Amino acid sequence: MLRIILQSLLLTTLAAVLSGCIGPGYYAQSLKGHVEILAARQSVEKLIGAPSTPSALRAEMAAAGAIRQFASDALGLPDNASYRTYVDIGRDYVTLAVYAAPEFSLAPQLWCFPVFGCVPYRGYFSRDAALKTARGLKEDGLDVYISGITAYSTLGWSSDPLLSTMFDGDRTYLAGLVFHELAHQRVYVNGDTAFNEAFAVAVETTGVKKWLRAGGDPAGLERYRAGLRRSADFLTLVAETRGELARVYSRPASADEKRAGKAAAIERLRARHRKLRDGSWGGYRGYDGWIDGPINNAKLAAMSVYNDLVPDFLRLFELCSDDYERFYAAVARLGRLGKGERRQALAAVTGCG
């Protein structure tokens, strides 16, 4: 099995190198990192049954196995070998994603790949390679943002494992990751990251709520809903700042004047966050790390890519009467449209059919 996967990845890598869009070194590190993970997979079922498995790990695997089965039985997500194996990768993130955007634009830079299409980031298994790329992009005058990634999907090309990084939060966090990544295997539109990620977030959030209700955990469900409300509040703040920045960048002004306007808008974002945190959030500090770090166009663009279309997908899910099969069929139909037509149709949709 591993030989077949390796051959497939080698062919994909060769095609990518021959296409000339990105150098062979990038694909080599991607191939090496992924194959190392595939080679280290252990069966979740066998880990649960093995007497030598530590009790804490056995409990985590049992919970993960139940979540994985729920994904297929209750959410209509692919019933395959993905997330039925486990790998302890021994680091905080499986990959690092590098985003970039011009100094005076919120449009992210795109990189194009075989199979996946054009996406607004480059992923690295190697930290040194990610930092090297980031330095080069900064030298070109671009805003750069690096984000740690805890899970990824090969869209079913290989049997993706559960990773130790996916267990850093509680089981609700794990369920969300599994549902999100499997959603990419159900519907994926080549070259439209915003559409794909918002769809997966919609499956994740509706799926987690259904999972919590099925598990008879009303307290957990309320905590999750409270987190979603805070997320919506925070995204509203970010959207306001993006609007301010768009106006700053569109004005006829010098580069120094635009930089000053940019810095002022970002400081207003931080001030609004503090007011919200210390007010209606009751001191919740979960977004402090994001706010206190450097904020630039690349970081704001990354936030936009994953979240802007989520309300439209949630509305479509409701129009489909919370029926996952009908929802997936409706999303697949939208995915067959051209990109511009797709966005318009999603925003204007009034029914599931």
Per-residue pLDDT of the chain (353 residues; tens, 9 = 90+): 333 333 344 434 433 433 334 555 676 777 788 888 888 999 999 999 999 999 999 999 999 999 999 999 999 999 999 999 999 999 999 889 999 999 999 999 988 876 667 788 888 888 998 999 999 999 999 999 999 988 888 877 778 999 999 998 899 999 999 999 999 999 999 889 889 999 999 999 999 999 999 999 999 999 999 999 999 999 999 999 999 999 999 999 999 999 999 999 999 999 999 999 999 999 999 999 999 999 999 999 988 878 889 999 999 999 999 999 999 999 999 999 998 899 999 999 989 97
What is the token pair recorded at 196?
Answer: 């794909």
Cβ atoms 101, 109 nearer than 8 A: yes
155: left (phi over 0), alpha (psi -120 to 50) or beta: left
DSSP secondary structure string, 154-182?
A: -TTSS-PPEEGGGGSS-HHHHHHHHHHHH
Residue 347 confidence (pLDDT) = 93
Give the contacts of 26 (CB within 8 A, at least 6 positions apart): 122, 129
| CA 121/CA 109 separation, integer angstroms | 8
Residue 27 confidence (pLDDT) = 66
Residue 260 confidence (pLDDT) = 98
DSSP secondary structure string, 285-343?
A: -TTHHHHHS---HHHHHHHHHHHTTHHHHHHHHHHTTT-HHHHHHHHHHHHTS-HHHHH
Kindly report the pTM of this predicted structure.
Answer: 0.89
Which H or E element spans position 229? helix 218-250
Residue 124 confidence (pLDDT) = 87
Cβ atoms 87, 42 nearer than 8 A: yes
Residue 12 confidence (pLDDT) = 44
What is the token pair recorded at 130?
Answer: 């990610």
Residue 25 confidence (pLDDT) = 66
Residue 32 confidence (pLDDT) = 80
Cβ atoms 47, 58 nearer than 8 A: yes
Give the angle subtended at the CA of 322 by the CAs of 161 and 350, to the nearest 5°. Answer: 120
Give the contacts of 142 (CB within 8 A, at least 6 positions apart): 100, 101, 102, 103, 109, 298
Cβ atoms 83, 64 nearer than 8 A: yes
